[in-house]
Amino acid sequence: MNNISVRIFLLVTLTLFAADVFAADSYRWLHVTIDTPWAIFIFLLPMVLIPVVLMAILYWRFSGKSTTSVVPPAQNGTEKD
């Protein structure tokens, strides 16, 4: 039990000290220009439009087809004329 509490204490202590070492300015590597929103829009546009186009194509293809099928009665001699 004592060994676990020492390990937890060391882990928390080292994590707190390491936080300053790995801290960096969040905008240092991020180059945001006026083209960035357009790039995001162009990247996300197919993710929205492809399912919509697929649904339209599938709806158009199967719109004239019936969902029920007509099955002829069994020819076992039990039906009446």
Domain that holds residue 45: 35-60
Q: Which residue has the tokens 């882990």?
A: 11
- Asked if the structure places residue 76 within a domain, the reply is no
**Does residue 1 carry a pLDDT above 60?**
no
- Asked if the structure places residue 39 within a domain, the reply is yes
Give the pLDDT of residue 44. 93
- Asked if the structure places residue 75 within a domain, the reply is no
* Number of separate domains in the chain: 1
- Asked if the structure places residue 40 within a domain, the reply is yes
Could you report the per-residue pLDDT of 27-76, keeping only the tens digit for each?
666 677 888 889 889 999 999 999 999 999 999 988 877 666 666 666 66
DSSP states along 2-47: HHHHHHHHHHHHHHHHHHHHH---TTSS----TTHHHHHHHHHHHH
Residues 52, 46 contacting (CB under 8 angstroms): no
- Asked if the structure places residue 41 within a domain, the reply is yes
- Asked if the structure places residue 44 within a domain, the reply is yes
**Does residue 11 carry a pLDDT above 70?**
yes
